[in-house]
Amino acid sequence: MSVEDASLVESNDSSETDNSVEKDSLDRELDRIRLRRTDKDKKFPKTFDDVVLIFGVIAGIVFFGGVTLLSSGMFAGDSILIDQTLSKTPLDTGGECRDMQGELWYQIYSEHLEIFVETHNARDEKSSVLVVRFTDLNESDIGEVHYQSGQGDIDISFTLSDEINPGDFLLIVSFYQGDYDSELSVTNSTTFSEVSEKLKMVGNEKIVDLEVTTHSSIYISDPDPRACFTMEILGGWGWILMAAEWAGGRETAMLTGGSASVPAWWMAFISLGMSIFFLCVQYPLMHRMYHRDTDDLLTDKQLRRLIERTLRKSENDQRITIKFEEMKMQERAISIDVIIPYNTTNKTIGQATDIRAAFTRDLLEEFAVFGEMRPLQIKSISLDGINLNQNPEFILSSNLSIIGSERSILSEDYSSFFSGLSANGKLEDETIHFLNKWFKTNNLIDYGSAIIVDDESVLIRVIYTPIMRFSYFFYRKSFVDMQEDLTDYLSEVLAKNLGPRELIISARNEKATLSDRALAGRVELGSNQDDLVGEAMVAKQAGLTGVLLQNPFMGDILSSVEYVAHSNRSRIDKYGFWGLIVFVWIPFMASGVLVGAMLGLVARMRFRRVLLACLVGGSAASITWAYTARGIIEFMERYHAQTFIPFLILLAFVFTYLHLRRNKRRRREELFRESMAFFATSSNSNV
Residue 5 C-alpha from the chain's centroid:
62
Q: So what's the pLDDT on residue 87? A: 85
| Residues paired with residue 130 on neighbouring β-strands, in sequence order | 148, 175
pLDDT tens per residue across span 456-478? 778 888 888 777 665 545 556 77
Burial of 177 (0-12, 13-18, 19+ CB in 10 A): buried
pLDDT of 526 higher than 80: no
Q: Please give the pLDDT value at position 208.
A: 87
How many C-beta atoms surround the C-beta of residue 58 within 10 A? 12
Q: What is the spatial distance between Cα 461 and Cα 471, in angstroms, rounded to a whole number? A: 21
Alpha carbon separation from 645 to 149, 629, 630, 657, 669 (Å, rounded) = 31, 11, 11, 19, 36
256 pLDDT exceeds 50?
yes
Q: How confident is the model at residue 306 (pLDDT cuts 50, 70, 90)?
A: very high
The pLDDT score that the predictor gives to residue 64 is 93
Question: Cα 88 vs. chain centroid, distance in angstroms?
Answer: 42
**Residues 574-597 pLDDT 10s:** 777 888 888 888 755 456 787 788
pLDDT at 51 over 80: yes
| Predicted confidence (pLDDT) per residue in 360-416, tens digit | 888 988 888 888 888 888 888 888 754 434 333 333 322 222 223 233 333 344 344
Concatenated DSSP letters of 528-596: GGGT---EEEEPPPPHHHHHHHSSHHHHHHHHHHHHHHHHTHHHHHHHHHHHHHHHHHSSSTT-SHHHH
H helix intervals, 38-94: 48-72, 81-86
Question: pLDDT > 70: what percent of the chain?
Answer: 76
Residue 640 has pLDDT above 80, yes or no: no
When mean pLDDT is compared over 39-48, 70-79, 267-276, the highest value belongs to 267-276
Which one is predicted more confidently, 414 or 624?
Answer: 624
* pLDDT at site 401: 27
Q: How confident is the model at residue 666 (pLDDT cuts 50, 70, 90)?
A: confident
- pLDDT for 409 equals 36
What pLDDT does 15 receive?
A: 58
Burial of 3 (0-12, 13-18, 19+ CB in 10 A): exposed
pLDDT for position 264: 85
Average pLDDT estimate for 193-221 = 80
Distance of CA 344 to the CA centre of its chain: 39
Under the banding of pLDDT at 50, 70 and 90, the label for residue 89 is confident
Give the least confident one: 146-155, 175-184, 211-220. Answer: 211-220
Strands 218-221 and 105-111: unpaired
Are 519 and 362 in contact by the 8 Å Cβ rule? The answer is no
Task: Note the pLDDT of residue 65.
Answer: 92
β 328-331/376-382 pair status: unpaired
**In whole angstroms, how far apart are CA 584 and each of 277, 588, 593?**
16, 9, 6
| Rg, Å, the chain Cα set | 36
- Predicted local confidence at residue 685, as pLDDT: 44
Q: DSSP assignment, residue 144?
A: E
Give the lowest-confidence range in 8-17, 485-494, 553-562: 8-17
Residues 53, 281 contacting (CB under 8 angstroms)? yes
Query: Do 477 and 517 touch, CB atoms closer than 8 A?
Result: no
Residue 304 has pLDDT above 60, yes or no: yes
The separation between the first and the last C-alpha atoms of the chain, rounded to the nearest angstrom, is 47
Residue 655 has pLDDT above 70, yes or no: no
For residue 136, give every residue at least 6 positions away whose Cβ sits within 8 Å of its Cβ, in sequence order, or none. Answer: 142, 169, 170
Q: Is-contact 583 564, C-beta < 8 A? A: no
Residue 284, pLDDT above cutoff 70: yes
Q: Which of 282-291, 377-386, 416-425 bottoms out in mean pLDDT, i.e. has the lowest? A: 416-425
* pLDDT value, residue 415: 43
Overall average pLDDT of the 318-331 stretch: 89
State pLDDT tens for residues 340-367.
Answer: 999 988 778 777 877 888 888 889 888 8
Give the per-residue pLDDT at 550: 67
Per the CB < 8 A criterion, the answer to whether 168 and 209 are in contact is yes
**Mean pLDDT for the chain?**
76
pLDDT-derived band at 67, boundaries 50, 70, 90: very high
Residue 508, beta-bridge partner list: 463
Question: Averaging pLDDT over each range in 101-105, 379-383, 454-458, 629-633, which range is the top one?
Answer: 379-383
Q: Exposure pattern of 260-283 as b/e (b: 16+ CB <10 Å)?
A: ebbbbbbbbbbbbbbbbbbbbbbb
What sign for the dihedral angle of Cα 583, 588, 592, 598? negative
211 CB-contact burial (10 Å; exposed 0-12 / middle 13-18 / buried 19+): middle
pLDDT recorded at residue 160: 78
For residues 503 and 459, what is the distance between their CA atoms, to the nearest angstrom?
6
Backbone angles phi and psi of 408, in degrees to 5:
-60, 140
State how far the Cα of 373 lies from the Cα of 379, in Å rounded to an integer. Answer: 19
